[in-house]
Amino acid sequence: MPPKESADLLIEARWVLPIAPVNTVLTDHAVAVTAGRIVALGPTAELNARFEPRERVVRAGHALLPGLVNAHTRAATALLRGLPVHGPRTRWLRETVLPVARRCMSPDFVRDGTTLAIAEMLRAGITSFADMYLFPEEAARAASAARMRAAIGLPVTDGPTAWADGTTEHLAKAEQLWDEYQSDPWVSLYFAPHNAFGEGDATLARVRRVADELDARVAMYLPAEEACADHGRPLPRLQELGLLGPGFTAIHLSGLDEHELEIAATTGIGVVACPQSHLRLGSSLCPVMELDSRHIGVGLGTDSAVSVGALDILAEARMTALLARVTVGKEGGARIAEAGAPCAESVLRMATLGGATALGLGSLTGSIEAGKAADLVCFDLATLASQPNARPADTILFSATRDRVSDVWTSGRPAVSDGHLLAFDEQELLALARQWADRLRIGVAP
């Protein structure tokens, strides 16, 4: 008998949902990890015969999945959670959020808020996230220090911000950060012009040229309610400017006519939907199932903690599944569709590999495959609320909550174990959040 191979970690689970191949649920399987990478997935007995692990984790009543991916958020705004929420979105942002955000906007606000959000996301089974906010260097440092995979947006806008004074300085700072993080194993960067309606053609053309030179992704907001007459329909305009392609991600994409759906399909863009935020603010919904039926890749995001409350991708996935029979018109109206809802495995794919692909990380994470990073999450299904669990994907999507996350690994490194957050001191984070709440007078009686 040949000697056993060494492995850093062997995780044995009652079920494994690898996401790729599609709609697969494996029973009594295990995953072997070495140097932060998945080296094997197979029946538990076979992997025990093949490997001698330094550490073995047995989860007899659990389901093992790739880590969830929050494909769009503004992590630092976790410190603004508690502000009143009301639609319409643009008015709420202008009258409620921006006055407070301008008052507190600083590097330490972004650093502390992002750290708080990272801890919350890890505890919820999220192992990768995309951020879009000012002072991106602080978000990048927080993610790298926490050993959490992050795609950090580099803001670009015509006007001045607290970070830079216009297009030229925004791009200069962005390129400096690009050089700094080019080899970082945890942080990737993308260009984030504010939206298609607030930026001029010249700015967007400059972003395209720089992104092409660096082979960088570009992500932008494209909600229907922010359209304006000056620039026409957003997707045709961005296509004319040469921005659309597999390296482009459309966030909050909504209000599409047939021509725009065809543009999205033929250009190969990615899309990120944030259904709970849109519902809470009364915004038009992203037509997720229509996009999926046309093989347009869709990931899920939470948007900001201010608008959605919880940074919880499992809840976003559940809402996506519940909305799947609702068809959305280009004016934001909705009706119940005759077609059946998608299977739970397909929606979980959006919450994992779909999001990873939208961030340009699909070759690294989002599924349990040999060679990929060991970004993994375990759900405890051995609870009364999860019985009987003959269909683990349905149980996870409709019966479980983020509190059922028992274990989280990022590149094979434990971040949550037996339900306990390892990477942070929760009491210190709670104290930090209270300090900012007092400073900003959020939740404090007048």
Of the candidates 62, 53, 63, the one whose C-alpha atom is nearest the C-alpha of residue 32 is 53
Structure tokens at 102: 């301008």
Burial 338-348 (b: 16+ CB within 10 A, else e): eeebbbbbbbb
Give tens-digit pLDDT for 115-124: 999 999 999 9
Identify the residue whose tokens are 């608008």: 307
Of the candidates 352, 399, 348, 359, the one whose C-alpha atom is nearest the C-alpha of residue 376 is 352
HSE-up (13 A, CA, CB side) for residue 434: 6
Residue 229 backbone dihedrals phi, psi, to 5 degrees:
-70, -25
Q: Where are the alpha helices (DSSP H) in 157-312?
A: 167-181, 201-214, 234-240, 258-267, 275-281, 288-293, 305-308
**What is the predicted pLDDT for the residue at 265?**
96
Tell me the pLDDT band of 337, cut-offs 50, 70 and 90.
Answer: low
**What is the predicted pLDDT for the residue at 226?**
57
Please count the other Cβ atoms lying within 10 Å of the Cβ belonging to residue 258.
Answer: 8
Of the candidates 5, 3, 14, the one whose C-alpha atom is nearest the C-alpha of residue 383 is 14
Partners of 376 in beta bridges = 66, 409
Separation of alpha carbons 220 and 153, rounded Å? 10
* Mean pLDDT in residue range 431-444: 86
Give tens-digit pLDDT for 313-325: 999 999 999 998 7
**What is the predicted pLDDT for the residue at 225?**
58
Separation of alpha carbons 283 and 288, rounded Å? 15
Give tens-digit pLDDT for 422-435: 989 999 999 999 99
Predicted structure pTM score: 0.94
User: CB under 8 Å to 347, separation ≥6 — which residues?
Assistant: 317, 320, 321, 324, 397
**What is the predicted pLDDT for the residue at 93?**
87
Residues in the chain: 446
**What is the predicted pLDDT for the residue at 339?**
52
**What is the predicted pLDDT for the residue at 22?**
82
Q: Which domains does the chain have, with CATH numbers?
A: 5-66+372-411 (2.30.40.10), 68-358 (3.20.20.140)
User: CB under 8 Å to 147, separation ≥6 — which residues?
Assistant: 186, 410, 411, 413, 415, 423
For the CA atoms of the chain, what is the radius of gyration? 21
pLDDT for residue 437 is more than 60: yes
